[in-house]
Structure 1
Amino acid sequence: MADIFDVIADGTRRDILQLLLARRQGGQNGTSVSQIVSSLGVSQPTVSKHLKVLRDSDLVSVREEGQHRYYSLSPAPLDAVDDWLVPFLIDEGETDAVVASLPDSAVHAADLVGRAAASAKHAVTSVWSKLPGR
């Protein structure tokens, strides 16, 4: 399996992941290759090549219905990226003291809130950058 950082280093793969995330948040249960091609304006062979890399890295799952394949985001492998980045973003000594004093359920809740905040920030930034005149 390729290193997760190598996988997400490619802009087209990041665009595919962002599209799948947005469609999942919009209530879509899978996205076809043709929808990805249409949304990103990238050729079908290019999209297929990148989807294979994302599948091999377990970042997407595929559901087959007849001749159609529907892709969905599987973000669990991105935890490795999160684990690598977090130490750069926080003061470890301060955080260790706070975390040690919290019950496990509070630590879990804080993790969920942090992820939700990061997701909301990303969504707002993404929409903001697509506004005309930006």
Structure 2
Amino acid sequence: MDVTVVDPQAASVAAAIQNILTVSKRGPRLCPVRDVLDRVGDKWSLLAILHLGSAEAVRFNELRKQIDGISQRMLTVTLRSLEADGLVTRTAYAEVPPRVEYRLTALGQSLLGAVIALGNWATAHAPAIAQARQAFAG
């Protein structure tokens, strides 16, 4: 009789991966992982989420100054996409000049933890990645 010893953590990881892959086999339009990664995996969304998560409310021009290299148009497009997904809320105040503030919603706040974890991972592993790239380039 063959006995296979399985690490419970590895089995848990394998089950989680299998669950995600099973969902993705339903097609790209029905895959929640692909859908979310398409949105937050673009060039600017994660930075916007991080900056919005660092304050109660952020005005448009303040956010634009904080995100180095983003154009006014691209910030507008990014914020509208995040708003459409329910991650960001936009509040316009009837003042002269008009004042618009952006905040993370509760859903956006729940995503912020994963974004911070990804950022911490990237920071911790950046030297190893740079070394691997250099070794690969030869």
- Are residue 7 (structure 1) and residue 39 (structure 2) matched? yes
Report the alpha carbon displacement of residue 22 of structure 1 after superposing the two structures with TM: 1.2
Deviations 1:62-109 (A, max 9, x none): 111122210001242686x7xxxxxxxxxxxxxxxxxxxxxxxxxxxx
The root-mean-square deviation of aligned C-alpha atoms, in Å, is 3.2
What is the 5 A alignment of 1:72-111? Answer: 72-76=103-107
Larger Rg: 2
Q: Which runs of 5+ in 2 are unaligned?
A: 1-31, 125-138
The 5 Å alignment of 1:1-134 reads 3-23=35-55, 28=56, 30-41=57-68, 42-66=70-94, 67-76=98-107, 122=117, 125=120
Please give the TM-score of this superposition, normalised by the length of structure 2.
0.50
> Is the Cα–Cα contact under 8 Å of residues 4 and 57 in structure 1 kept in the other structure?
no
C-alpha separation in 2, matches of 1:13 and 1:124: 13
SS at match of 2:54: helix
CA 1:122/1:37 → structure 2, altered by over 3 Å: closer, same or farther? same
State the alpha-carbon separation in 1 of the partners of residues 45 and 119 from structure 2. Answer: 20
Structure number with the higher helix fraction is 1
Secondary structure of the residue aligned to 2:100 is strand
CA displacement, residues 25-57 of structure 1 (integer Å, 9 cap, x when unaligned): xxx3x1111011100121111100100100100
The runs of at least 4 consecutive aligned structure 1 residues that moved more than 2 Å come to: 2-5, 121-126
Contact 1:4 1:77 in 2 (8 A): no
